[in-house]
A and B are shown apart, each in its own frame.
Chain A
Amino acid sequence: MAAVENTLFSPQTAARFDKLVTLYPIKRSALVPMLLYAQDEVGYVSDEVVAEIAKRLDLLELDVRNVLSYYSMLRTKPAGKYNVQVCTNISCMLRGGYELLDHCKSTLGIGHKGVTADGMFSLEEVECIGACCWAPAVQVNYDFHDDLTPAKLDAVLETYREGRGTDVH
């Protein structure tokens, strides 16, 4: 079967998608991971991404949007290059999660879901990220940083600013 023409994604991602659709008993099972991997590459789930994924999975764009709107990690607008996600749920709240959030708001000069003017950082207050015993925890893109203080977080953000931050994909 001829694969759908790839206009948006890197060859690696396109190859990953070609493989993904073969893994499951039904193609549609690849939808959620595809949306996430597409977002990792493009930065957000654009209209073009929706259209191409719909084509790849023989779905209506409406089906794709329906799923897209359900999951909190998926976004339809660009975030910063580094998306700083601060957990303020109960375990983190007890150990300074809100302090970290306030600190980010003032040092980055943006609020929840805001993006810095240079596009470097965006900020999000998130629900529990599964690092409760190492609280307070923050995720920058997919990287976990735990047991933080405002000063430690500053140092972490500095590594990203300098392009030394790791970034799992």
Chain B
Amino acid sequence: MPRLVSHPDEVKVLSRRFGQGAAEIDKYIELDGYKAVQKAIESGPEWVINEMKASGLRGRGGAGFPTGMKWSFVPKQSEKPKYVLVNGDESEPGTCKDHIIFLHDPHAVIEGTMIAGLAIGAKMGFIYLRGEYRYLLKIVEKAVADAYAKGILGKNIFGKEGLDFDIVTQTGAGAYEVGEESALMESLEGKRGVPRIKPPFPAVVGLYGGPTVINNAETIASAPHILLMGGEAYAKLGSERNGGTRLFGISGHVERPGVYELPMGYSLRKAIFEVAGGIKDGKKLKAVVPGGSSCPVLKADEIDVGLDFDQMAKAGTMLGSGGIVVLDESVSIVEFALRTINFYQHESCGWCIPCREGTDWLKKTMTRFHAGGGSKKDIDNMQYLAENMLGRTFCPLGDAAAMPMIGFYKKFRSEFEDYVAGARVENPLIEIKPIGEPALIGAAH
């Protein structure tokens, strides 16, 4: 069972009900639950969208798109039904924040879904959880059933004639790519998780062809808090153009790994050295992957940067999903890079060539390189290959694979060069196939 952690620097907005039994509907209601949605019903969609815009909330799924703006893009009139889709596919390596939201505060996700529905004029919402999260799906399913039993979901909600809202939960069955918004819609329509061409964007043509708002589970769970405290007050908690707080998962070589709620813009250095207790066993910091595995690596001397979308972009990386992965001095970047590309190669849906072939070649070359069959030319080739994947793929998974690899080649080039010169990982974690195996065929010297 995930441990809850705590630190004095945390600002608990989203996490304030964690550990208090708020998965039970009565407890949730006692802790101000379902007040925000009633306020939204009284004040109307325009008020909701204005508060969301004022909050400066930016999507917690990875790209950081302003949520209020996203909601305002949905056309008011539509022949087809509109939908709210909650993305709980959470599969970006290093990310486990939605996990504890579903575990500790599932009603916040339900309430947020209803608020988004009111804002855009939808009567139905879907909460999609990755297939591995079965125990969490059960918790969410129970929460949904309890909300129906109390008249909070269903027909004439809160006793208001003609006001209906339904929520259906859904499970995936293992696929990172399904986290991409249009692939998620395909999956929910019972198909392979192959992304759709854009435009049209989901706000216009989404699920079942209807206008759809898709948001990450944390984004959605933030909405009730924003409406309760007011958009402006929420915005003030964070940094410029980055409203509020966020759940940061700090994992890897730190003393106290865990999910912490910190204000946007909080120092990455302090997050690692104070909040998470510093590097495990007194070792030295080597590198940080700051927002899930697709974000370019930062070196130990590059961590004096604020944790928000803009400051991270300025530092040449991304805030991504907020999953901060910390590497100590013992880590071989060559091996870490190999593990990273193995993941993306495995998860590429194969639809477009730069991603399918690019991840495959990177994996093959990295495997050979890791085994000791690499040359200097390989380093250049791999970097060149990754750079040429950028922006040339059908969906952002291709970029998500290429960007971290480029980061490793650029920032830790000397380590790759040492490898060519004969250096090796002392205790390789990833199995090395003997020279002569397919992994090494084509090794050029």
| Chain A residues in the interface with B (C-beta under 8 A) | 23-26, 28-33, 35-36, 57, 66-67, 70-74, 88-91, 93-95, 98, 127-135, 139, 142-144, 146-147, 168-169
Contacts and interface: CB of A to CB of B under 8 A. Distances in A.
Contact of A57 (B91, B138, B190): B190
Given A28-B190, A30-B190, A94-B253, 7 more contacts: A26-B208, A33-B173, A70-B193, A88-B429, A94-B326, A94-B327, A147-B3
Q: Which of B99, B132, B175, B349 has the most CB of A within 10 A?
A: B132
A23 B252 CA distance: 41
B173 A94 contact: no
A31 B186 CA distance: 12
Contacts of B399: none
A90 B99 contact: no
Contacts of A132: 93-96, 249, 251, 323, 325
B161 to A, nearest CB: 24
A26 B190 contact: yes
Contacts, number: 155
A141 to B, nearest CB: 9
B99 A130 contact: yes
Interface stretch (B197-205, B339-347, B366-374): B339-347
A95 B131 contact: no
Contacts of B384: none
Contacts of A131: 2, 96, 99
A45 B175 CA distance: 17
B190 A71 contact: no
Contacts of A72: 173-175
Contact of B190 (A31, A73, A129): A31
B2 A134 contact: yes
B92 interface: yes
A91 B325 contact: yes
B56 interface: no
Contacts of A74: 173-174
B72 interface: no
B135 A133 contact: no
A100 B174 CA distance: 22
Nearest to A27: B190
Interface in B328-342: 331, 336, 339-340
Nearest to B188: A29
Interface of B: 1-3, 81, 90-96, 98-99, 130-135, 138, 168, 170-176, 187-193, 208, 249-253, 257-259, 289, 293, 323, 325-327, 331, 336, 339-340, 343, 346-347, 349, 429-430
A168 B190 contact: no
Contacts of B346: 127
Nearest to A69: B192
A70 B347 CA distance: 10
Contacts of A26: 189-190, 208
Q: Which of A31, A94, A139 has the most CB of B within 10 A?
A: A94
Nearest to A37: B171
B257 A133 contact: yes
Contacts of B171: 32-33, 36
A130 B247 CA distance: 14
Contacts of A134: 2-3, 96, 257
A133 B259 contact: yes
Contacts of A90: 93-94, 252, 289, 293, 325, 336, 339-340, 343
A126 B140 CA distance: 25
Given A89-B293, A94-B252, A130 B91 contact: yes
Contact of A94 (B168, B192, B331): B331
Contacts of A91: 93-94, 251-252, 323, 325
B96 A32 contact: no
A89 B343 contact: yes
B190 A67 contact: yes
A142 B138 CA distance: 11
For the complex of A and B, the 3 pairs showing the least CB-CB separation, nearest first, are A73-B174, A28-B190, A31-B190
Given A32-B173, A127-B343, A73 B132 contact: yes
